[in-house]
Amino acid sequence: MSVSNECSNTRSAHPSADKQGTLGYPMKFKGQDFELLRNLCLISGYRFRDGIFPSNMDSIGPDLLTAEELRRVEWVRAGSQHKNPHLFVHGVSRFDIHQGKVGNCWFLAALGSLTFAPRIMINVIPSDQGFTKKYVGIFHFRFWRFGKWMDVVIDDKLPTLDGRYLFVGPANGNEFWPALLEKAYAKVCGSYSDLHSGLISEALVDFTGGVHISFNLTKPREDLWEIIQRAAAHESLMGSGSHSEPGVKPVNTVLKNGLVQAHAYAVTGVNMVHCGNKNVKLVRLWNPWGNTEWNGSWSDKSPEWNNVDPETRKLLLRDCDNGEFWMAMEDFTANFTQIDICNVYPHFLDSGNDCIWAMSEHNGSWIKGTSAGGSLKEDTFWKNPQYRVNLKTAHLDCSSSTSFNFVVYLMQKLANKHRKQSLRLHIGLSIFKHCDQKEKFSAEFFSSHQPIPSYNVGSLGVIEFFQLEPGEYLIVPSSYNKDQECDFFLSMYSKTNHKEKMDSDLNLQFSQLSVSHVNSHMKVFAKYSSQGQEINANDLQRLLNDSLKGNISKTGGFSFDACKGILAVMDVSF
């Protein structure tokens, strides 16, 4: 017998609203409280069974298995087939990960990169769990989702087919952190099937809550090598995607050079070696399959290694089919489309220690008829949310390594609980230089002013880099077509000299212009909603009781059951 999540409605005291969704106080995904659920299981003597992400075909999802295979699937506890299961064995390594049946190389490549960033890894995998002390079959993991950190609870039942793990299994026989983390991410995305196909940048951002930058390798920047070096030194998460044939659906084709077509790889290292009379820039990559490697220059058995100092060769070269390999920088840029770099802050853009980055962030919405004005080509563009940014001291010379001193990132929030079914709009950013004005800018302003040039259209997320003089700026996030509704998350990073006083606004003053009553209500909704554009009974209870603070001493406020009743009357799923 197992204990399910019936008790998940029991809640502990809530932190203040401004702390909710931070790493210290992550939102409880679907209202499940890890500590309360584990304690209930410890008291009752039963193991946890997750009724929200149950051990059935709904959690596996469509199109991965045939009907006959689905009937043969068995869900087993992670430790039931092993005498001595562990969450970790000798720490974490990308070699702990072997891809299973779902095509989620994008997620696993990001996971492999995560193993090189222990300060970030500890945010994703809390240390208060395992298979020994207090083990009752419950685990939890944390992901940053559209502006909020989420604590995701799972049980440790994993799907098997004919005795073999369907998805990521324990590479060393008894180490389960990759399999359990994959299950938690599948729960967040809706099912294991929802992990099929994606961009590595999605997972990189979900692991860090930071800024993601993608560099095109077709025409690489002159300083790209230096940027990658700095990114590695700052424990940045990095990944890359191999070329695909235009118009051809990827089918895991292995090319003659050993690379998998249209495949995601983790970037796990950079180094420069002396070979003959020249220095060679090398990039190390890892294939989440755990095998199948590049066989060209500087591969495991390449003769180039014979011309390298023996000590250096011993340090860098691992001649085994583990999916990891070195390749020269020029081969890397010729065979891969882009490199994605992600970190909490964009420190890797700077070569020295003279600069720090201030951050400001905001949640907003495009609402049909009110604030969904569409792109600049629409005469309703002015209706989009507008944000004023005052760069008080935009430092142009605190670092000579890059020409950027301002970074802005826009991300749309996926509303559907299933990742693959969510509508992804084409979104963009426009930034204008303007004089000091507190009111919202009208259509006349946009018809007579051009935005600062940038490439600003993308799907799910858009990031822009600027070199800006001190002054007032206007930022307008928009979807390509008007009247397309969606929530979004906007963050900005501004560079300044580290000698300045570190206060709340640093050199970045940020405010929204002329928020309408509708937008104000949507802002309140977004503040309390833990499920995108949906609200559950727990969220409603917090919203109502926080709104009535000081006036509920006699009644005790709205109960959870009362809020369930309100939602039931409104015919809203909770």
For residue 225, pLDDT over 50 is answered with yes
393 vs 322: which has the higher pLDDT: 322
Are 378 and 477 contained in the same domain? yes
Final residue before a domain boundary, out of 285, 311, 343: 343
* Beta-carbon contacts of residue 550 (< 8 Å; ≥ 6 apart): none
Q: Is residue 202 part of a domain?
A: no
The count of other CB atoms within 10 Å of the CB of residue 219 is 7
What's the Cα-to-Cα distance from 350 to each of 116, 229, 269, rounded to whole Å? Answer: 21, 11, 19
- At residue 469, the pLDDT reads 87
Domain boundary among 343, 375, 391: 343
Share of the chain above pLDDT 90, in %: 53
Does one domain contain both 151 and 69? yes
Among the residue ranges 20-29, 283-292, 297-306, 399-408, the one predicted with the least confidence is 399-408
In this structure, are 32 and 168 located in the same domain?
yes
pTM for the whole structure: 0.82
73 and 184, same domain (yes or no): yes
417/518 same-domain check: yes
In the numeric block, which tokens belong to residue 335? Answer: 């065979």
pLDDT tens column, 485-530? 999 999 998 887 544 333 334 445 556 665 444 455 656 666 677 6
Report the pLDDT averaged over residues 209-213: 89
Amino acid in the structure at residue 43: I
Helical segments of 142-291, H only:
177-189, 200-208, 224-233
**Predicted pLDDT of residue 314:** 92
Could you tell me the CATH number of the domain that includes residue 215? Answer: 3.90.70.10
206 in any annotated domain:
no
Residues 360 and 338 in one domain: no
| Segments in 65-176 forming alpha helices (H) | 67-72, 105-114, 118-124
| Number of compact structural domains in the chain | 4
Task: Catalytic residue, from 86, 263, 347, 362: name it.
Answer: 263
- From residue 133, give the alpha-carbon distance in Å to each of 127, 224, 434, 553: 12, 47, 60, 41
pLDDT band at 321; cut points 50, 70, 90: confident
Q: pLDDT tens digit string along 368-378?
A: 989 999 999 99
In a domain, residue 574? The reply is no
Domain boundary among 284, 314, 343: 343
Same domain, 326 and 399: no
CB 214 within 8 A of CB 121: no
Amino acid present at 59: S
More confident residue, 434 or 452: 452
Q: Are residues 20 and 153 in the same domain?
A: yes
DSSP state of 277: T
Confidence (pLDDT) at 503: 33
105 catalytic per annotation: yes
Name the active-site residue from 41, 105, 275, 563: 105
Is it the case that residue 7 has pLDDT exceeding 80?
Answer: no
The residue among 434 and 149 whose pLDDT is bigger is 149
Looking at the fold, whether 243 and 387 belong to one and the same domain comes out as no
Q: Is 196 a catalytic residue?
A: no
Using the predicted structure, report yes or no on whether residue 152 has a pLDDT greater than 60. Answer: yes
Residue 237 and residue 332 share a domain: yes
Confidence category of residue 264, pLDDT binned at 50, 70, 90: very high
In a domain, 200, yes or no: no
Task: Please check whether residues 120 and 187 belong to one and the same domain.
Answer: yes
416 vs 439: which has the higher pLDDT: 439
Q: What is the pLDDT of residues 65-110, one digit of tens each?
A: 999 999 999 999 987 877 789 999 888 889 899 888 888 899 999 9
Which is the catalytic residue, given 287, 343, 384, 519?
287
Q: What is the pLDDT of residue 220?
A: 92
- How far is it, in rounded angstroms, from Cα 344 to Cα 120? 9
Strands (E), 298-453: 324-328, 336-343, 355-366, 387-391, 406-413, 426-433
Q: Where are the beta strands (DSSP E) in 263-371?
A: 264-275, 278-286, 324-328, 336-343, 355-366
Q: Which domain holds residue 133?
A: 2-195
Residue 287 annotated as catalytic: yes
Phi-psi sector, 159: left (phi>0), alpha (psi -120 to 50), beta: beta
Give pLDDT tens digits for 270-312.
Answer: 999 999 889 999 999 999 998 999 999 999 999 999 999 999 9
Q: Is residue 205 part of a domain?
A: no
Q: What is the pLDDT of residue 328?
A: 97
Distance of CA 42 to the CA centre of its chain: 33
Please tell me whether residues 385 and 367 are part of one structural domain.
yes
Tell me the average pLDDT across 203-222. Answer: 92
- The verdict on residue 203 lying in a domain is no
Look at the block and give the residue holding tokens 């950079």.
270
Please indicate, yes or no, if residue 82 is contained in any of the structural domains: yes
Q: What stretch of H or E contains 518?
A: helix 517-528
Query: Which residues lie closer than 8 Å to 32 by C-beta, 6 or more apart?
Result: 5, 8, 52, 153
Mean pLDDT, the chain, as a whole number? 84
Task: Please state the rounded mean pLDDT for residues 547-551.
Answer: 63
In the predicted structure, residue 532 carries a pLDDT above the cut 60: no
Backbone angles phi, psi at 276, to 5 degrees: 65, -120
Q: How much is the pLDDT for 254?
A: 92
CA separation (Å) from 338 to 270, 404, 535?
16, 20, 38
Is position 484 within any domain? yes
CA distance 508 to 505: 5
CATH of the domain at 467: 2.60.120.380
Q: Is the pLDDT of residue 315 over 70?
A: yes
